[in-house]
Structure 1
Amino acid sequence: MIDVSTASPAPATAAATDGVPRSGLKRGTGKLIVGSTIVTVFVLAALFAPWITLGDPQAQDLANRLAAPSAQHWLGTDSLGRDVWTRLVFAAQVDLRVGILGAVIPAILGTLIGIAAGFGNRVVDSSIMRFSDVIVAFPLFIFFLALVGLVGPGEGFWFLGPGELPIIIGFALISWVVYARLMRTEVRRVRSLDYVRAAETGGLPRRRVIVGHVLPNAMNQTFVYVFVDIGLAIVAVSTLAFLGVGIPLDTPEWGAMISSARGYINTNWWLIVAPGAAIATLAVGLALIGDGLDDRLKQS
């Protein structure tokens, strides 16, 4: 006879975790930790820039121009004797500011338009989608060239620096399309679920259906894409600055720093490597956060 009181509970424990691999419980955690650490370092550096640098990114020392990295100048000096480390850290303020606003504003605008398309009738949906096709047809960088020429670099607006406003406007006018299409697809998917149909047929006001039932389940992919889009926006604004569009070349900005140092790549390579590495590292960190969130959402 088998004594059930002493039977091992192992099979029951194994059965309880059936279908949920142990490794799957932490899926995406590593990416989130690494990505969040990278982004946090950049954000903190931007916030505390005056205290972790020499203080003035425009201060010139012509007698000490193109100096090699040293204890006094960690990343050397540029062609005007300006401290590269100081300019690199202050540049994070510009790129993060433009990158975040260049992704969040289109995300909000595109989300609202996508909801209108997803809940609208066939005419509204078709009109929005055809208009988005027209917007996508515009070459992005040519559009920025025209916009900057029309608006001009200016002297800065509110807390924005010179040349940042037209770039952010450009992102808002172009990048909303991706979010609108994404939200439209997610809204239509969620609306087809039984509990949402029941809420609609039960007479629940549309506003409550959208806010209480649709948005919480349709926003997941938008949150994922926002982090990736911030990285893309930072790369785009650095590219524009490298081409001399929008951000003035004397502004501490990573793309502008690379552009100013092009003539010294063979002799002072660190002038280009430092801002280039900053762009790549921050973009990778943001992509890891987006990828980690995507893994978590797929798991749930």
Structure 2
Amino acid sequence: MKAALARWFDSDVGHSFRTSPVAMAAAAVAFLCVFCAVFAPWVAPHNPFDISTLVLGDAQLPPAWIERGSAKYLLGTDDQGRDILSVLMFGARISLVVGIVSVLLSMLIGVALGLLAGFMGGWVDTFLMRLCDVMLSFPAILVALMIAGVGRALFPNAANTVAFGVLILAITLTGWVQYARTVRGSTLVERNKEYVQAARVTGVSKRRIMSGHVLPNVMGPVLVLATIQVATAIITEATLSYLGVGVPITQPSLGTLIRNGNDFLMSGEWWIALFPGLMLVLIALSVNLLGDWLRDAINPRLR
């Protein structure tokens, strides 16, 4: 493990990371957000979902540095007396899980279809690309809204796992197209190169050529796209939750927290909506900056 990490730091990508203050700052912010989300039950000051610990008398307290604020609640409390800082950690946990899982599924579907379309060509390529065109003709958030809304209507009393599954499916079906088109374009270039022709001459099967030869050489752009798509998926999840068709209210994500806090903006309790919004911006911005750095780092023309 240490040897692999040392080799990475000595590589061109590692050197690019060490010499980029923006990438290092974005990585630090992303790591902090992910760490707090993953270990929320242990690092959060309070358990916001333990009803026995909630005190209604502490509801709508401002942040600690404002008059009436309490050092017990650093970022204040919401209308139920829950600690905002603790709620952010648990809410980011849900948003990250939905975003990462949906991106992995989108990447799996998109890479497989794009590789198949680019390598096989003919009617397979035509059919899959026309399918991509149809998907791109609809706004992504509209498709996600429709799928999530239909899923919630068909399963109004479904368990949380089913609701999460419907939300992940909605984001996945709107995200695979970018991977398919990217991989298809790279595959069209790779399939005519000498190493692929040599594999064909020696009798290697098409499936073996696609999985063992072409796929590793088209994964660079896919990794960059996946990094950026994580932020897009998290924002999409937050949008759907804000509109009421996302995760259940019993498992609030950042979008649900922003929606709840929006009801108190006009009454002066701005911190209930502001801090979840800032958390969402930090996660999306740090991931996007890492994606931009990775795109430049693996591009040989920029070295």
**Matching residue of 1:63:** 57
Aligned residue pairs, count: 274
Cα pair 2:171 2:236 within 8 Å, conserved:
no
Post-superposition CA distance 1:132-154 (Å, at most 9, x none): 11222233333233322322262
Alignment partner, residue 44 of structure 1: 35
Q: Give the structure 2 partner of residue 298 of structure 1.
A: 299
**Partner in structure 2 of residue 147 of structure 1:** 147
1:268 maps to what in 2? 269
- Shift of residue 123, structure 1, vs aligned partner: 0.7
> 1:172 deviation in Å?
2.1
Q: Percent identity?
A: 32
Q: 1:27 aligns with which of 16, 19, 38?
A: 16
**Aligned residues of 1:98 and 1:234 also touching (Cα < 8 A):** yes
Q: Specify every segment of 5 or more residues in structure 2 that has no aligned partner in the other structure, as ranges.
A: 1-11, 64-69
Q: What letter corresponds to residue 34 of structure 1 in structure 2? A: A
Equivalent residue for 2:196? 196
Structure 2 counterparts to residues 55-134 of structure 1, below 5 A: 55-58=46-49, 59=51, 60-69=54-63, 70-134=70-134
Match of 1:14 in 2: none
Q: TM-score, normalised by structure 1?
A: 0.84
Report the equivalent of 1:289.
290
Between the aligned partners of 2:248 and 2:136, the Cα distance in structure 1 is: 27
In terms of Rg, which structure is larger?
Answer: 1
Aligned equivalent of 1:12: none
Distance 2:227 2:293 in 1: 11
- Amino acid aligned to 1:96: L
Cα root mean square deviation, aligned: 2.1
CA apart distance, 1:24: 10
Runs of 4+ in 1 over 4 A off after TM superposition: none
Is the CA contact (8 Å cut-off) linking 1:49 and 1:55 kept in structure 2? no
**1:158-201 CA distance string (max 9 Å, x none):** xxxx7322111112222111111111001111122222223223
* C-alpha distance in 2 between matches for 1:250 and 1:264: 19
Which residue of 1 is the match for residue 232 of structure 2?
232
Q: Measure how far apart 1:82 and its partner are.
A: 1.3
Work out the CA distance in 1 between the residues paired with 2:250 and 2:260: 8
Q: Which amino acid aligns with 1:62?
A: L
Q: Which amino acid aligns with 2:16?
A: R
The residue type paired with residue 90 of structure 1 is: F
Q: Render the CA deviation track for 1:8-28: whole Å, top value 9, x for unaligned.
A: xxxxxxxxxxxxxxx999435
Q: Which runs of 5+ in 1 are unaligned?
A: 1-22
Q: Give the TM-score of the pair, scaled to structure 2.
A: 0.83
Say if 1:231 and 1:286, in contact at 8 Å, map to a contact too. Answer: yes
Measured after TM superposition, the shift of residue 68 of structure 1 is 1.4
Provide the rounded CA distance (Å) in 2 between the counterparts of 1:25 and 1:64. Answer: 48
* Structure 1 residue 265, shift from structure 2 partner: 2.3
Q: Residue 73 of structure 1: SS of its match in structure 2?
A: coil
Distance in 2 (CA, whole Å) between partners of 1:181 and 1:109 is 12
1:205 and 1:282 map into 2 onto residues whose CA distance is 43
Letter in 1 for 2:223: F
Distance change (3 Å), C-alpha of 1:218 and 1:122: same
Q: Which amino acid aligns with 1:279?
A: L
Q: Deviations over 1:33-76 (max 9, x none)?
A: 33322221112111211122244223432211100123101111
Aligned in 2, Cα 1:25/1:79: closer, same or farther, shift over 3 Å?
A: closer
| 8 A contact 1:57–1:252 mirrored in 2 | no
**Given that residues 13 and 297 in structure 2 are in contact (C-alpha distance below 8 angstroms), is that contact kept between their aligned partners in structure 1?**
no
Deviation digits for residues 227-257 of structure 1 (CA, Å, limit 9, x no counterpart): 1001001011111111112223453311111
Counterpart of 1:61, as a letter, is V
From 156, 160, 178, give the equivalent of 2:160. Answer: 156
CA contact (8 A) 1:65 1:77 kept: yes
Amino acid corresponding to residue 186 of structure 1 in structure 2:
S
Q: Is the 8 A contact 1:258 1:276 kept in 2?
A: yes
Deviation at 1:102, TM superposition (A): 1.4
Relative to structure 1, the CA distance from residue 194 to residue 139 in structure 2 (aligned partners, 3 Å threshold; closer, same or farther) is same
